[in-house]
Structure 1
Amino acid sequence: MAVVRRRPSRRWSGPFDPYDVRNPHHPRRRAHSSPGPSPRGQAHDHVPPAARPGRSPGRVGHPRRATAVRRPPRGDVRARGHGAGTRTPATTTREAHVQDAVALIEALEPAPVTLVGQSLGGHTAMLSAASHPRLVTSLILIEAGPAGPSPDLPAQIATWLDSWPIPFTSLEEAEAFLGHETWTRTLVRRDDGWHPTWDRTTIVDSVAELATTAYWEQRSRITCPTLLVQGEHGTMRPGEPSMMLTHRPRTQPVRVPDAAHDVHLDQPTRLHEAIAAFLRD
């Protein structure tokens, strides 16, 4: 989830991808002599930073990190249990994630801010805007909504994580399996190959409440303007976007062609254009 000032600069700096720790000691950066971004990463430099938890084109959503941006300064926070954050936090409840977001916003005064979130990061942004309206002036949800319950979600994510052929013998093998170079930045190198940094139980527990709960009531409490971005081949439930518009008429829908659940990776330029237009209004 990203926190952005309401009137950002014309050109955003920084990456638009998950788990980029932005330091020269990151394993992906050590693996390449070039100090600059990869060719695929260059496209992300034209998109405002936002939250995104892992990748899942064609699969169920996977929880992400959170990024905070303010001009100036800029902060960067991963969701608990993801990226460079605490690997096995004491709790992974939805409320705990919201409190993390609120603490971040309050640390980046002045509020209110624009929240941007994708997948579970978007769900956190939505709940934060619902419970702390004074802190949020506008909301951008990317492949995220209140629909539920989703009883099979924890098992689906567990099955997907278990399908990873760990360890990967190379970053190239990892990219071929995961589908985006960005996802290889979640890996660390050990003697026998490349391993993920996440803890399986923590990741699965992060979506436990989504298995039993719908969040339409919380969605109905949101008062700020909202941009809803859906990938043409995304994973939102049929009818969920239209119901969201019914519950909150101040919602602007955008459907991005040729994009799956990870719109920010599949169509970064189109996503940038949608976000920039929304923020200018």
Structure 2
Amino acid sequence: MGGASRVLTTGGGINVSYSVFDGDSPAIVILHGLAGSSREFIPTASALSPRQVILIDQRGHGHSTRVPADTSRTAFVEDVVRVIEAESSQPVDLVGQSMGAHTAMLVAAARRDLVRRLVLLEGNEGGGSAEDHAALGDYFRSWEVPFASREAAAAALGDGPLAQAWVADLEERPDGLYPRFDADVMVATITAVAVPRWQEWQSVTAPTLVVYADGGMFTEEQKADFVARGVNVTRVDLDGASHDAHLDAFDQWMAALTEFLTAR
């Protein structure tokens, strides 16, 4: 069963869409990764019952404004802060995956008063090359949209868990199916994420769970360095999992998440 859909409009006229799954406080706020949407975390939200869960479509993603003028990290952080302040009267448990983990980390650094616990799935301080970002944009632009059907999209994008999530989230228009993100916005967003944020990471004081997948995007050296520089960090590694472990290692992901969030 889905949550109640809500929209918050920022001072810049950006619509931030999010869903609230009713339950007990404190709320758990979850942020998806680049080119994803909150839809990916509906199973996670359902499994976290009876806690209240808020799933946010970050700007440029899902049902939020598709092409925002501002794709800075500050803008992403401010969106999340506004949603938390609108929906919760107490600090929340903040969860993020990949780009969403980076956003969550920056929120926890900027607003310690709003974050009780922090969970980062396949995240780090930032990084990546301009060549990688350009290649990502080229890949998204190579999609021959509109897709005539979800079956046609699946044939083009593949049957991996992330591709399945993209196919499920395609927007229906009169002439076919389109992704819920813009390639140029994705490149601009990930370019901002690439700037290392060690100072912010080292200032996070909330108890933090860092979850890595053995088939994820970081080397062991990167993982160890990130964890070592944190203040109050627990690390969990998932076996047989990808960068999108919430999709392909769900049981392990939920075990790690619930154990951390329910610990006294």
Q: TM-score, normalised by structure 2?
A: 0.77
- Cα–Cα, structure 1 residues 274 and 14, in superposed 2: closer, same or farther, change >3 Å? farther
Q: Which has the higher strand share?
A: 2
The two structures, once aligned, show a CA RMSD in angstroms of 2.8
Aligned counterpart in structure 2 of residue 85 of structure 1, from 50, 54, 64: 64
Aligned counterpart in structure 2 of residue 244 of structure 1, from 226, 229, 233: 226
1:206 aligns with 2:193: no
1:169 aligns with 2:151: no
CA distance in 1, matches of 2:203, 2:166: 34
Question: Could you say which residue in structure 1 is the equivalent of 2:23?
Answer: none
What is the CA distance between 1:237 and its match in structure 2? 4.1
Aligned counterpart in structure 2 of residue 108 of structure 1, from 87, 111, 122: 87
1:252 maps to a residue whose letter is: T
Aligned counterpart in structure 2 of residue 144 of structure 1, from 123, 135, 140: 123
What is the CA distance between 1:189 and its match in structure 2? 3.0
CA distance in 2, matches of 1:222, 1:171: 42
1:50 aligns with 2:30: yes
What is the CA distance between 1:169 and its match in structure 2? 3.1
CA distance in 2, matches of 1:272, 1:234: 17
Off by >4 Å, runs of 4+ in structure 1 = 66-76
2:30 maps to a residue whose letter is: A
Question: Could you say which residue in structure 1 is the equivalent of 2:206?
Answer: 224
1:196 aligns with 2:176: no
Q: TM-score, normalised by structure 1?
A: 0.73
What SS does the aligned partner of 1:243 have? Answer: helix
What is the CA distance between 1:167 and its match in structure 2? 2.8
Contact 2:102 2:126 in 1 (8 A): no
1:219 maps to a residue whose letter is: W
Contact 2:29 2:92 in 1 (8 A): no
Structure 2 segments unaligned to the other structure (5+ residues) = 7-27
Question: Could you say which residue in structure 2 is the equivalent of 1:267?
Answer: 249
- Cα–Cα, structure 1 residues 264 and 72, in superposed 2: closer, same or farther, change >3 Å? closer
Contact 1:149 1:214 in 2 (8 A): no
CA distance in 1, matches of 2:98, 2:90: 24
CA distance in 2, matches of 1:218, 1:195: 36
Aligned length: 231
- Cα–Cα, structure 1 residues 74 and 280, in superposed 2: closer, same or farther, change >3 Å? closer
1:126 maps to a residue whose letter is: M
Higher relative CO (Cα under 8 Å, sequence separation at least 6) belongs to: 1
What is the CA distance between 1:71 and its match in structure 2? 7.0
